[in-house]
Amino acid sequence: MDLAALNAVATAMVQPGKGILAADESTGTIKKRFDAIGVENTEDNRRDYRELMFRADAMKDHISGVILFEETLFQDAADGTPLVDLINASGAIPGIKVDKGATKMAGFPGETVTKGLDGLSKRLRSYRERGARFAKWRGVIEIADGVPTWTCIKSNAHALARYARICQQEQIVPIVEPEVLMDGPHDINRCDEVTRQVLQTVFSELFEQRVALEGIVLKPNMVISGKGSVRQATVDEVAERTIAALKATVPSSVPGIAYLSGGQTDEQATAHLDAMNRIGGFPWKMTFSYGRALQAAPQRAWGGDNANAAKAQAAFAHRAKMNSLASLGQYDASMETEA
């Protein structure tokens, strides 16, 4: 393992003013996105949509890396150029989602554990040969009555750590993504409690698996009220609680934090990231790794018609710029009216 090289990639992924585009929706997930805009979920449509983003000027200005689904990593643009080459040409780093999704935990109703460790080393070698330099694995933690259990937290943390160790063995930077879902009626206090427990367990497992923290990027949820909570926390409260939770659980040797948006609206995700960076006083770079919060607007603008590519790229550029500013603590909500 070349830790210096891994650290260089991880540091580039969280460089100031840039963030990560999560374009790794599975075929089933992107079908839901396309259904919402009346677009058929074909391989060509998936390619055309992602190609327009990868060719956008916003990639050069605001995007440090792109998480891809396996299909996209090996896909060529309409003119035959590998999509991964378009990403490299923009100066962004190609990455790959490697988990195989969450599966139900036998004996633990409502809880899941992520699968995909079998054959991971072999897959990573082929992904690296194609150009991927980082990977992503998501562990899903739900909050409900009696949930999460310790078994669920421990199982997902262990899988994340095994994945991270295998990645580093294959000279791939692992994005470690333990997501505490914001679905449900729980308040911010409950989210804070669970998030701290999850992060403490994840880093304990990473230590046991001898994962070099200097060569990872953490992709956590923000500490936020559940969608169904009677009281929704303010932007400042989310920022303060999130930073406090991470300071208590995340070692300073981690190069950076790239937050997931987790079902927040576009502008909420941007405002929360900005508020955290305005507070400052933390040892890591803090940026974004957003999927829907970067893509919902360009998807609507595109609508399945490549004649709308420029319009979609402009929508993508706006959201990417807003989040770029937020990663520097320079976002102003009044800028949204300029779009």
Quick one: DSSP state of residue 38?
T
Tell me the two tokens of residue 154. 């421990």
Q: Tell me how far apart the alpha carbons of residues 86 and 8 are, in angstroms, rounded to a whole number.
A: 21
Label residues 258-270 b or e (16+ Cβ within 10 Å = b). bbbbbebebebbb
Is 274 buried (19+), middle (13-18) or exposed (0-12) by CB count in 10 A?
buried
Return all residues near 119 (Cβ < 8 A) that are at least 6 apart: none
Active-site annotation holder among 18, 136, 219, 285: 219
Q: Examine the residue annotation and report whether 177 is marked as an active-site residue of this protein.
A: yes
Return all residues near 18 (Cβ < 8 A) that are at least 6 apart: 62, 63, 64, 287, 324, 327
Tell me the two tokens of residue 153. 């937290």
Residues, the chain, total?
339
Q: Prior bond to 148 cis, omega within 30?
A: yes
Active-site annotation holder among 25, 170, 177, 205: 177
* Residue type (1 letter), 257: I
Q: Known catalytic residues?
A: 177, 219
